[in-house]
Amino acid sequence: MNPKYNALFEPFTLNDGIQLKNRLVLAPMTHSSSNPDETVSDAELEYYASRTTGVGLAITAVAHVTPGGKGFANQFRAVGEEFTPGLTRLAETLKKNGAKAVLQIFHAGRLAPPELVDGDVTAPSAVPSERGDGGQGPTPRELTGQEIEDIIKDFGKATANAIAAGFDGVEIHGANGYLIQQFFSPHSNRREDKWGGDVHQRLAFPLAVVDEVQRVVKEQAKGPFIVGYRFSPEEPETPGITMADTLVLIDALADKNLSYLHTSLMEYTSVPRRGVEDTRSRLVIIQERVGAKVPVIGVGSVKTPDDAAAVLETGAPLVALGRQLIVDPTWVEKVQSGREDEILYTISKNDQKALTLPDPLWNMVINIPGWFPIVEAEESAK
């Protein structure tokens, strides 16, 4: 192995005492490949088996905690005893080669496709997303106080299911515009009760979810159990979450003794758009702010080994790979064995079988413009 990549393969111990065999993380990636009954499919297991032989931590695609929170077609569910057998097989698959297995859990809120939730799209307030078709999503129904309390309990139930299934932990998905982020955002949360208000008051729901998840872990886990939290540092909307708001959020999360904080970034080098006067990258700012209290996972267009090493150079102790492990499932093994010059960075339309990609994911990879670098077969083979 090239010595400049040694740091990527050093063990790391999370705040909960769980040791990871290295600093590399399989990022959660939506693949829409579960069975129609929302159980884990064989195709998903094959997909994960081919991508978890080298990483230290493997985070699943997101699982919804309640039917009304479904965000994608063919997505597995986290709550309900009938889903535990499939989740157990998934946990076993992720852990087979030494990775720690984490189940990501969420509620889609106003980003739930209406056809997947019987038309009952819900959110903190009746404010449509600006990210739907034509620049606006459907106007959601404002959640009642009781519904909010029930959803918080559903996150606890999902955590109990993850424990029963043998996962090493859960990741609370508070990023990418979904419900937990919606409660923190001034765009989507206009409430005047205890769940809304200024930036500090809008922390109520995210922190309540963390508290419920940690309560269940304390009561039901038989040993150390990972509880991570993913967040998006900023929103493009006005009003929306600014970098200054995010500093308030991560300060509060850092006091919760979480296992890690996972940034959600398109580019690990991206800089703040508003809220702070700072030209450094968001990742550097976040690491400096809370890294001494809670480990930070850096992510965002990490393609080359040099990219991964650059993330660690920010001080963040862990680096996640998403799309790159779809493009080349053996990326980690190639770097570790000194074969980084063999890493693949493009996909051809003949590669589905070799990449072990389920049909729904393959169709997205090929048909979503600009998502993946698609080339002609001859060019990919070079």
23 close to 317: Cβ distance less than 8 angstroms: yes
Cβ contacts of 303 within 8 Å, gap of 6 or more: 324, 345
Q: How far apart are CA 376 and CA 95, in angstroms?
A: 35
Q: How far apart are CA 77 and CA 82, in angstroms?
A: 10
Cβ contacts of 110 within 8 Å, gap of 6 or more: 121, 122, 123, 127, 128, 129, 137, 138, 140, 179, 182, 188
In this structure, are strands 19-20 and 12-13 parallel, antiparallel, or unpaired?
A: antiparallel
Q: Other C-beta atoms within 10 Å of 76: how many?
A: 24
What is the DSSP code (8-state) at residue 297? E
7 close to 14: Cβ distance less than 8 angstroms: no
Q: How far apart are CA 167 and CA 78, in angstroms?
A: 12
> What is the crossing angle of helices 145-165 and 204-220, to 10°?
40
Catalytic residue among 5, 47, 48, 178: 178
- Known active-site residue 178: yes
State the catalytic residues: 178
